[in-house]
Structure 1
Amino acid sequence: MLETDVLVIGAGPAGSMAAKHTAMGGAKVLMVDKKSEIGAPKRCAEGVSKDGLKRLEVTPDPRWIASEINKVRLVSPNGTDVLLDEEKVKLSEVGYVLERKVFDKHLAMDAARAGAQIMVKTLATSMKTGKNGITVQLEHMGNPLEIKAKIVIGADGPESRVGRWANLKTGLKPGNMESCAQFEMVGVEMEQFGCIELIFGSVAPGGYAWIFPKGDDMANVGLGVLSNRTEKTAYQHLLEFVDEYPATQNAQPVELNVGGDPVAGLHKELVTDHLLITGDAAGMVNPLDGGGIISGMTGGCIAGEIAAKAIADGDYSKKNLKEYQERCQKEIGDSFKKYLKAKEYLLSLSDDELDSIAKAFNESDFDRISPTDLLKVLVKVSPKAMLKLGKLF
């Protein structure tokens, strides 16, 4: 049996930040990941904001930046587009499209440099909580392994088992989990250089389609759907989209990624005795746009700081760890409540209504755009939005 102060399960961005900040706080930390290669396969469109990286003190590195983004093109069902250009407006929520396979390793290496130990191809299979800590059963390189930790941080993604093993209420209804499918493609004929495209309406029931450029004619092309709003799979919708959308009709896929994206906001329970959950496992995904890298990394930082403090205190109780829940709610969860309301409103719109809103946006003037600012403009241009969202602002 191995022993450690803190065991982090999952080496994505949230897990690596948790491991790094736990180690920086002086605790002994081990991070395990079920994959042979950290960062592969990717399961997102790979977009992050410059402001988010700056807040997290992560210095941009050309090795993991595929392209720099300075425009966002919003496309309604009939093709009406709203172009948001940072030359005209301040775009606070865009920045880079990453190479996640390099970026995730970069964060894991930072954790290692801070003092964390890392074990790959190590799958957690069960967990038992005792009086003095948690014992986790794992398979390491196909062989059984047992690790005892004073605190476990679950960063094992949207299908997290760690939270369930600890009896935290992390289950999601079908209407709160996007089913996503994405191609990395070559031969994409994009409208604008350095521009993300987001396509709304019945092309992706319950979600939207996206094109995230990765340089020249390469891009991540994907979509997310809600299973309770369509009888087709996300993959079937993706095939139809790339066949019909002008930018992708001549493109070819070189990689396929599929997975779930939790869009219900922050889970109500993030802690219990000896345990925290973070990242996608904790619902740290923006309900409106489905992005979760920066928010997950933010949660990971907080988890690491609180875990290290608890180790120093010698108190691993739920009561002592509750500060994590409170900080995450303040720094992540409160804003997600607004975005969840906005998502519910957008789901109520028909294709015709989306077209009308796009037209109204093009007739509006604004000098700053963030998700919150977009919603404020939406309230101005749509009477229906005023009724449903007006109280949020």
Structure 2
Amino acid sequence: MMLIETDILVIGAGPAGSTAAKHAAEGGARVLLMDKKSEIGAPKRCAEGVSNGGLESLGIEKNPRWITKELDGVRLISPNRTDVWLTSDKIDLPEAGCILERKVFDKYMAMDAARAGAQIKIKTLATGMEKTDDGYLVSAESMGESFQIKAKIVIAADGPESRVARWGGLNTTAKPKDMESAAQFEMAGVEMENNNCIEFYFGSVAPGGYAWIFPKGDDIANVGLGILATKTDKTAYEHLLEFVASNPATENAQPVELNIGGDPVGGMPKKLVTDNLMVIGDAAGQVNPLTGGGIISGMTGGMIAGKVAAEAISEGDLSRKKLKKYEDECQEAIGKSINKYLKVKDYMLTLNDGELDSIAEAFQDIEFEKVSTTELVRKLVKVSPKALLKLGKLF
């Protein structure tokens, strides 16, 4: 059986995995990036929104090849259709951003990894993994051929419920109450009030989560929702069909693509590394628990992991103690923010449709100034005394 040897093996070529491979290769390590799909980036797994600041923090310059829409704001819609607009003419939007074409963006990130020196194997599935004295021996198959990969460090970037993490003895699987079920159409014929803004719909339209419409230019948009299975007897797809049929923006639109998947919204596990193994991206719960967005946070985790892994290879120290530097830096870079939004998400789950409506209605009379996201949440609570009683120790 053929044996391939490398310093670092990254399993999963999503944005997080490709970013890890790029930075590990730039650090001088021999890197192999593999993905089970024949086309990196397909099918897409999210609503495709990212912040401009997030891209800048990763050193990524925007490219019109993978940007479909620049955004100018957010529209928040309560259950009774009361809406609140947060647009650049009313408020400073530090998280303003754009909508990606993930099928192009993901490939571009993998290409960046290749340009940095990483080797890429597509249509390659990891089928097993065993510990050796100096790393891991990973069994894989591609196009009917079986082979093995010997790696000093394995980086698991294989998504929610990571098999690679489990093979390495790390339990990163999200609990049912922390795993959103998501369903999304890409649709044509969408009639938005302002197609420069993303829209979020809250309440029983998506129990335990929210629904969204993200414009992609012209009359095209990603229309989807995420739910917690513990909050409803219906599937995410059933809720999506109901949302599309009842929403004025989508009732006459037609789907051209359907995506279904899980989204871990319970925060990062405490343990993301062990000897010779690191876990990143969705596999590591590097997702904003409030919005479900994980592209930038996952790539940030990937960047840190790639740098730490290359450093570990250079120093010849592949122990958990050395790799824990990744855990510590991740906690500082994204962990604090994830924990903050986890508290906000838990608070939002306590609000019923009536309370959400009363908050939105009270917001109609507020003159927005340049305030931070946290200050906005504080204002939101103040205008609803009933909601305030539920706030507890959030702040």
Deviates more, 1:169-178 or 1:229-238: 169-178
Kindly provide the CA deviation profile for residues 348-368 of structure 1, in whole angstroms up to 9, marking residues without a partner as x: 111000000111222223323
- Cα deviation for residue 158 of structure 1 reads 1.1
Contact 1:75 1:82 in 2 (8 A): yes
1:325 maps to what in 2?
327
Contact 2:161 2:174 in 1 (8 A): no
Matched ranges for 1:305-316 at <5 A: 305-316=307-318
Deviates more, 1:370-379 or 1:36-45: 370-379
- Cα deviation for residue 171 of structure 1 reads 2.0
Question: In the superposition, relative to structure 1, how do residues 151 and 198 fare at CA in structure 2: closer, same or farther (>3 Å)?
Answer: same
Aligned partner letter, 2:108: H
Aligned equivalents of 2:311, 2:115: Cα separation in 1: 20
Find 2:254's aligned residue among 252, 255, 266. Answer: 252
Contact 1:65 1:96 in 2 (8 A): yes
Aligned partner letter, 1:144: S
- Cα deviation for residue 377 of structure 1 reads 2.1
Matched ranges for 1:37-56 at <5 A: 37-56=39-58
Matched, 1:10 2:12: yes
1:274 maps to what in 2?
276
- Cα deviation for residue 201 of structure 1 reads 0.6
Contact 2:162 2:173 in 1 (8 A): no
Matched, 1:59 2:49: no
1:68 maps to what in 2?
70
Aligned equivalents of 1:95, 1:130: Cα separation in 2: 44
Question: In the superposition, relative to structure 1, how do residues 350 and 385 fare at CA in structure 2: closer, same or farther (>3 Å)?
Answer: closer
1:88 maps to what in 2?
90
Find 1:359's aligned residue among 358, 361, 366. Answer: 361
Question: In the superposition, relative to structure 1, how do residues 244 and 370 fare at CA in structure 2: closer, same or farther (>3 Å)?
Answer: farther
- Cα deviation for residue 388 of structure 1 reads 5.1
- Cα deviation for residue 93 of structure 1 reads 2.0
Kindly provide the CA deviation profile for residues 321-366 of structure 1, in whole angstroms up to 9, marking residues without a partner as x: 1111111111111111111111111111110000001112222233
2:237 maps to what in 1?
235
Question: In the superposition, relative to structure 1, how do residues 93 and 370 fare at CA in structure 2: closer, same or farther (>3 Å)?
Answer: farther
Question: In the superposition, relative to structure 1, how do residues 85 and 319 fare at CA in structure 2: closer, same or farther (>3 Å)?
Answer: same
**SS in structure 2 of the partner of residue 294 of structure 1:** helix
Aligned equivalents of 1:384, 1:108: Cα separation in 2: 49
- Cα deviation for residue 56 of structure 1 reads 0.7
Aligned partner letter, 1:57: G
Contact 1:169 1:268 in 2 (8 A): no
Aligned equivalents of 1:242, 1:306: Cα separation in 2: 45
Aligned equivalents of 2:371, 2:240: Cα separation in 1: 28
- Cα deviation for residue 387 of structure 1 reads 4.8
1:219 maps to what in 2?
221
2:101 maps to what in 1?
99
**SS in structure 2 of the partner of residue 77 of structure 1:** coil
Kindly provide the CA deviation profile for residues 189-209 of structure 1, in whole angstroms up to 9, marking residues without a partner as x: 001131101001101000000
Contact 2:199 2:213 in 1 (8 A): yes
Aligned equivalents of 2:133, 2:391: Cα separation in 1: 47
Aligned equivalents of 1:282, 1:85: Cα separation in 2: 33
1:185 maps to what in 2?
187
Aligned equivalents of 1:57, 1:392: Cα separation in 2: 33
Contact 2:160 2:173 in 1 (8 A): no
- Cα deviation for residue 313 of structure 1 reads 0.7
Kindly provide the CA deviation profile for residues 92-128 of structure 1, in whole angstroms up to 9, marking residues without a partner as x: 2231000000000010001100111100000111111
Contact 1:13 1:296 in 2 (8 A): yes
2:196 maps to what in 1?
194
Aligned equivalents of 1:118, 1:174: Cα separation in 2: 34
Aligned partner letter, 1:87: D
Aligned equivalents of 1:384, 1:271: Cα separation in 2: 43
Aligned partner letter, 2:79: P
Contact 1:89 1:369 in 2 (8 A): yes
Aligned partner letter, 2:23: H
Contact 2:351 2:387 in 1 (8 A): no
- Cα deviation for residue 381 of structure 1 reads 2.2
Matched, 1:203 2:201: no
**SS in structure 2 of the partner of residue 91 of structure 1:** coil
- Cα deviation for residue 169 of structure 1 reads 1.9
Identity of aligned residues (%): 67
2:337 maps to what in 1?
335
Aligned partner letter, 1:199: Y
Aligned CA RMSD, in angstroms, stands at 1.3
Kindly provide the CA deviation profile for residues 244-297 of structure 1, in whole angstroms up to 9, marking residues without a partner as x: 011000000000000000000111110000000000000000000100000001
Contact 1:345 1:385 in 2 (8 A): no
Find 1:349's aligned residue among 345, 348, 351. Answer: 351
Structure 2: runs of 5 or more not aligned: none
Aligned equivalents of 1:276, 1:42: Cα separation in 2: 24
**SS in structure 2 of the partner of residue 63 of structure 1:** coil
Question: In the superposition, relative to structure 1, how do residues 237 and 369 fare at CA in structure 2: closer, same or farther (>3 Å)?
Answer: farther
Question: In the superposition, relative to structure 1, how do residues 369 and 29 fare at CA in structure 2: closer, same or farther (>3 Å)?
Answer: farther
Find 1:114's aligned residue among 101, 113, 116. Answer: 116
Aligned equivalents of 2:13, 2:63: Cα separation in 1: 19
Kindly provide the CA deviation profile for residues 223-245 of structure 1, in whole angstroms up to 9, marking residues without a partner as x: 00000111110000000110001
